[in-house]
Each structure stands twice: as structure tokens, then as C-alpha cells.
Amino acid sequence: MEIVMAVVIGVLFMCATYLILSKSILRIIVGTGLLSHGAHLLILTMGGLKQGAVPLLSEEAASYVDPLPQALILTAIVISFGVTAFLLVLAYRAYQELGTDDMERLKGNDTHE
Amino acid sequence: MNNLILMPVLWPLLTGIILIFFVKQVRVQKVISFLSSLIAIMIAAAVVYVVKQEGMMTLAMGSWEAPFGIIIAADMLASLLVLTTSIIAAAVLVYSFKGIGTERERYYYYAVFQFLLVGVNGAFLTGDIFNLFVFFEVMLMASYVLLVLGGTKIQLRESLKYIIVNVISSAFFVIAVAYLYAITGTLNMAQLSERVAAVNQPGILSVIAICFLVVFGLKAAIFPFFFWLPGSYYAPPIPVIAIFGALLTKVGVYSIFRTYTLIFHHDQAFTHMILGTLSLLTIVVGVIGAIAYWDVKKIIIYNIVIAVGVILYGISLMNEEAIAGSLLYLIHDMLIKAALFLLIGIMIKVSGTSDLRKMGGLMKQYPYLAWTFFIAAISLAGIPPFSGFAGKLLILKGTVYAESYVGLGIILLSSLMVLYSVFKIFIHGFWGIVNKDYVPKQVSISGLFVPAVVLVVISVMYGVGTEGIYPFISQAAQTILNPEIYINAVLKE
């Protein structure tokens, strides 16, 4: 199971890297979304995968999953959700104001402030 | 157990929430945030005092004992940085009263300013590495808003890049934490330190250390991750640049300080060698930028990069002199960078341009501004008896003990270049003849000038009174060099 997860995470990171390196802002934002998905799955995998048990039932529970990675993922998901929403609004506003979503044209130098 | 050490985080949070309710009453906002910033200084001073008297303080959140719960841990390093942060925040806040403009004031500027302080103070005080990530995000979210507030073209363009860089670095932070958790099974920094020491830091942990260096290096703007800094810090108004330049990069530096002295300090030949090399390269690129530009903002922005390099080089040496020097220099640099940004802000305001080739002759109308800038400039370069001197001297002593003469040479040369870069501002901005197209305006600058002077005076006192401050620095350095003090304070209570 860990191997499958590792491959999935790898594919997510690969797609994220490809998208982040493109020029359109929207594709970059989708890329950052995939990157954080990959990171969240990575935490889950790194906490150890077990089947058929929930996090901490009682003190006598025979088997349970480490709850900490799940708490970490929850926090990280909320943060990345908030930042992505902000980034989307900012990208739209920047598109309205600057008239382009092409990172090549957003370089900026001394003559073009 | 002491609830006081959580106050530097809670107090600005509370103030920020209250300020939101008064968002359209600018005058009320000013009064509340000013009073709050004064109280924040007192709280921070109390924390420093308590830590000095009783040693390191810890607080288990929700009474979940370490290592299971989140720990707030105030050692001398963290509390001194919190105090410095509060002082700078108060000065920049007063500067903002005249320097930020009503439009921004009516759109949550002061509230977001307080939330930024929540993140910064929290990052300094937390004793849990995932909690550090959370406070980083609090700080970054506030910084996104401050950076884009106002919505001018250049701000929108630069914020996009800044946010994308930081989102990616946050993802790396999560990845590094995940790896670290998989190997050590804990996130508490004290227990991490113990467990990494127990297995004597094998190769995989050194790789994770480098992962963290990338993450924190992106925030601290070390070579080769500084590329976003000159553009992004150029865009917002001066008070925002001052607070970013003084605090945000320093949070990255602090995190490297913490992780590289508390957790990953067993394989110094590898990790600290990389840190040292990168910081020397950081100094070199910073110097190139500081000399090459003719824009006052760009020159001071590149000086941030140089200072980050100097401080991190001190950390990479890991001997007592260099660590104490880095600490002294870190606090000095926070104060003097904030002061310099405020001073060039006044220069830009009165001359109407930030290009040195168009400026000139400000000395005649603004002699006090000129001489304050002069003192700030020589403090930055580290000329005795001003504040940069003692820190740099100790770092240089550290390089001699570590027999790294390349570092010695680069740091000494960089001081000369820093002096040249700020004197370029002095000579072309204050001396010379007035440019006909940019005649200095005769405006009242006292509201802007007072906070800058206060910061310069504090920095001069910091330099002259180094002897009196050294016991604090020495206590902080002792905690850093002996991780057992930190571990005992957190885990054995």
C-alpha cells in the first residue's frame, strides 16, 4: 500500500512541477493545489498506513491509527485552502488590473512599473 | 508553567480583533493600536526579565504535557527577539500614522499589522515544529494582505510572485515535517533534539536538515533563494517594507538558528558546511546588488540580504563567539534596517523620487535627517562604537577560532562595501546640488522623523551599552550551545 501511495504522490508532484513551470497564472495555481495535495498525502503515508482501524478508540483498543498525521493534514488542508482562495482572487484582480495572466509579461523592470 | 510567555502572541491577536470593529474610525484605530503596542513592549520586557531571572520558561497548551501537546517555550533568544519585534512594531506603527495614507487605514491596515505580529511572535516562541509552520502561515497570510493592500499595479504583480513562492515553500515545509515525523515520530523540538542525538544524525536526517534549510532559506532570502526579495519588497509602501525587512526575513533566520543549533547539529561537516558556503555566497550577491543599484530602496533591500548572510555564517561556525556575535548582530540588524527604511522613506517623500541620480542637496533643508541617516549608515557598516561593531567583531573572532579565513575576508570586505553602498546614498542624496526637476519639498516630516530617530537612538544605545546587554546575549548563547538546557526545560518539568 505504501508503494502505491508513494507512486501517487510522485505523480502528483510531477504534475504540480509541470504546471507550476507554465506561464499562465491559473495553471500555476492548479499546480500549487496539486503540490499541497501531494504533501498532505505524504504526511498520511509517513504516519504509517494501516487497514481497518480508526484513530484511538479507547485505552484498551487493540489497533488504532496514529491520529497525529490526520490532525496535521487537517491543519495543512485548511491553510492551503485559505491561501488558494486568496491566490485565486488575487490572480483575478491582477488580471483585471494588468490585463494579462502571462507570467512572461509580468516580469517588470525599471521602465515598466 | 507561566502564562505570561503566551501574552506576546495573544495580545496583538486581541488588539487585531478589536481593531476590526473600528475599521472606519481611523483615529480610534490609531489610539488603540498605539496603546496596545506600548503594552506589548512592556509584556515583552517582562518576559525577558522573567527569563533572565528564572531561566527558560515553558507553557504546555491546554495542559497537554510535552511531548504530546504544543509547547510554548521562551528561552533568552526567543524573548529577546520578541522584545525587539515589539519595539520595531511600535516605531513602524507611529510612522504609519503619517506614512500609510487614509485609504489603507480604512481597509484593515492596523488590524492586519497586529496579525502579522501574532505570527512573528508565535514563530519565535513555539517549541513545536508543526506549530512553527502554522505561525509561519499566520505571518505569511498577514504579509500577503499588507503587500497587496492598496492594489496598485506593481503591488498586484509582485504579490502574485511573492505568494506563489511562499505557497511552494510552505508545501516543502509540510513535506519536510512529514519526513521528519516518519523518522523520529515526534514534532516537539526538544524531543526531536533528543532523538536525533540518540541516533547521531544519520544521512537521512541530514537530508531532512537540508530540506529545512531550503524552506527557511526561502523565507530568509539566502543564496540561491533570494530572487523573490528585491522585487517583492520594492512594491509596498515604506512602513510595510520596513516591517517586512526588519521582521520577516529574520523569522527565517531565527528558524535556521533554532533547527541548526537545537536539532541538526551532529553532522556539522555536512550541514553546517553547506549553510556556511551558502551564507558566504549570499553576502557576495547581496554586495553586488547593493553596489549596482542607484535606487535607495533597492540598495537597502540588498543590504538585508548581506546581513542575513553574515548572521547565518556566524551560526554555521557553531562556536561560542560566533553564536553570541550572530545574536548581537541579528538584533542590531532588525533595529537598524527598520530605522534605515524609515529614513529613506522620508528622503523619498521629500525629494519625490527614489532614484539617487535625480536626488541631491537634501542636507541644506533637512540637516537633522542627514545626520541621523549618517549615524544609521555607520552603525549598519559596524563602525565602533555603534551597534553593528560588537556583533561583527565576535563573528570575526569566531571565524578566526574556526580557522575559516575565507569567511573572515568576505565579511570584512562586505563591511567595506556596505559602507560604500550607504554612503552612496548619503553623498548623492544629501550632498551635491539640488536637481531642478526634483527640488526637495518643504514639508513637515516630524511625524515620520520621530519614530526613525527613536529607532536610531535605541540602536546607538544598543551599541554603546553592549557591555550591559552582553549578559542577556551570553545567556541566550549558552542555551543555544547546550541543547540540554532547552530539552530539560521542556521535557523534565
Q: Say if residues A41 and A9 touch (Cβ distance below 8 Å).
A: yes
Cα–Cα distances (Å) from B216 to B118, B132, B275, B350, in that order, read 19, 11, 11, 37
B465-480 pLDDT, tens digit each? 999 999 999 999 999 9
Chain-chain contact of B174 with A98 (C-beta, under 8 angstroms): no
B78-115 pLDDT, tens digit each? 999 999 999 999 999 999 999 888 888 899 999 999 99
* Other CB atoms within 10 A of residue B442 CB: 9
Measured between beta carbons, the chain A residues lying within 8 angstroms of B168 are 20, 32, 35
Q: A50-89: b or e for each residue (b if 16 or more CB lie within 10 Å)?
A: eeeeeeeeeeeeeeebbebbeebbebbeebbeebbebbee
Measured between beta carbons, the chain B residues lying within 8 angstroms of A30 are none
Chain-chain contact of A47 with B181 (C-beta, under 8 angstroms): yes
Confidence of residue B440 (pLDDT cuts 50, 70, 90): confident
Q: Is the pLDDT of residue A111 over 50?
A: no
Q: Say if residues B100 and B183 touch (Cβ distance below 8 Å).
A: no
Domain A2-49+66-103 falls in which CATH fold?
Answer: Helix Hairpins (1.10.287)
pLDDT for the residue numbered B365 = 87
pLDDT for the residue numbered A52 = 62
Is it true that the peptide bond before B385 is cis, omega within 30 degrees of 0?
yes
Average pLDDT over residues B259-281: 93
Instruction: Return the residue of B nearest to A80 by Cα.
Output: B167
* Other CB atoms within 10 A of residue B149 CB: 21
Q: How far is A37 from chain B (nearest CA, A)?
A: 9
Q: How far does chain A reach from its first CA to its final CA, in angstroms? A: 52
Measured between beta carbons, the chain A residues lying within 8 angstroms of B130 are 72, 75
Confidence of residue B484 (pLDDT cuts 50, 70, 90): very high
Q: How far is A31 from chain B (nearest CA, A)?
A: 9
Q: Is the pLDDT of residue A62 over 80?
A: no
Q: Which value does ipTM take for this structure?
A: 0.93
Measured between beta carbons, the chain A residues lying within 8 angstroms of B164 are 20, 28, 32, 87
A55 - beta bridge partners? A65
Mean pLDDT of the residues in chain B: 92
Q: Of A39, A69, A79, which is closest to B175 when you measure between CB atoms?
A: A39
Give residue limits of the domains in chain A: 2-49+66-103
Which of B164, B166, B232 to mutate against chain A (most A CBs within 10 Å)? Answer: B164
pLDDT for the residue numbered A57 = 66
Measured between beta carbons, the chain B residues lying within 8 angstroms of A68 are 181, 187
B173-218 pLDDT, tens digit each? 999 999 999 999 899 999 999 999 999 889 999 999 999 999 999 9
Instruction: Return the residue of B nearest to A27 by Cα.
Output: B164
B342-360 pLDDT, tens digit each? 999 999 999 888 888 888 8
Chain-chain contact of B175 with A42 (C-beta, under 8 angstroms): yes
Which of B175, B180, B293, B353 to mutate against chain A (most A CBs within 10 Å)? Answer: B175
Chain-chain contact of B157 with A47 (C-beta, under 8 angstroms): no
Q: How far is B160 from chain A (nearest CA, A)?
A: 7
- Report the percentage of chain B scoring pLDDT > 70: 100
Confidence of residue B361 (pLDDT cuts 50, 70, 90): confident
Q: How many helices (H) and strands (E) does chain B have?
A: 22, 2
* Other CB atoms within 10 A of residue B361 CB: 19
Measured between beta carbons, the chain B residues lying within 8 angstroms of A46 are 178-179, 181-182
Chain-chain contact of A83 with B168 (C-beta, under 8 angstroms): no
B100 - beta bridge partners? none
Is it true that the peptide bond before B451 is cis, omega within 30 degrees of 0?
no
Q: Between β-strands B71-74 and B57-60, what pairing exists: parallel, antiparallel or unpaired?
A: antiparallel
Q: Which residues of B touch A (CB under 8 A)?
A: 130, 133-134, 137, 140-141, 144, 148, 151, 153-154, 156-161, 163-164, 167-168, 170-172, 174-175, 177-179, 181-182, 187, 231
Measured between beta carbons, the chain B residues lying within 8 angstroms of A76 are 133, 174
Chain-chain contact of B157 with A82 (C-beta, under 8 angstroms): no
Q: How far does chain B reach from its first CA to its final CA, in angstroms? A: 9
Q: How far is A46 from chain B (nearest CA, A)?
A: 5
Instruction: Return the residue of A nearest to B145 by Cα.
Output: A86
Which of A44, A66, A97, A101 to mutate against chain B (most B CBs within 10 Å)? Answer: A97
pLDDT for the residue numbered B146 = 95
CB interface of A with B, residues 6-65, below 8 Å:
20, 25, 28, 32, 35-36, 38-40, 42-43, 45-47
Chain-chain contact of B174 with A76 (C-beta, under 8 angstroms): yes
B122-146 pLDDT, tens digit each? 999 999 999 999 999 999 999 999 9
Confidence of residue A113 (pLDDT cuts 50, 70, 90): very low
Q: Which residue is associated with the grid cell 520578541?
A: B82
Distance of alpha carbon B266 from alpha carbon B275, whole angstroms: 14
pLDDT for the residue numbered A63 = 72
Distance of CA B140 to the CA centre of its chain: 14
Measured between beta carbons, the chain B residues lying within 8 angstroms of A98 are 153, 156-157
Instruction: Please enumerate in sequence order all residues whose Cβ is within 8 A of that of B370, keeping only pairs 6 or more positions apart, or say none.
Output: B362, B363, B426, B430
Which of A22, A25, A32 to mutate against chain B (most B CBs within 10 Å)? Answer: A32
pLDDT for the residue numbered B64 = 86
Q: Of B151, B168, B175, which is closest to A32 when you measure between CB atoms?
A: B168
Q: Is the pLDDT of residue A50 over 80?
A: no
Confidence of residue B69 (pLDDT cuts 50, 70, 90): confident
Average pLDDT over residues B398-417: 93
pLDDT for the residue numbered A112 = 45
Size of interface A-B (CB pairs under 8 A): 98
* Other CB atoms within 10 A of residue B436 CB: 6
Give residue limits of the domains in chain B: 293-485
Measured between beta carbons, the chain B residues lying within 8 angstroms of A106 are 157, 160-161
Q: Of A69, A87, A98, which is closest to B163 when you measure between CB atoms?
A: A87
B153-173 pLDDT, tens digit each? 889 999 999 999 999 999 999
* Long-range contacts at B55-64 (CB < 8 A, ≥ 24 apart): B55/B485, B55/B489, B56/B479, B56/B485, B56/B486, B56/B489, B57/B2, B57/B4, B57/B5, B57/B489, B58/B1, B58/B5, B58/B127, B58/B489, B58/B490, B58/B493, B59/B1, B59/B2, B59/B3, B59/B5, B59/B6, B60/B1
pLDDT for the residue numbered A56 = 64
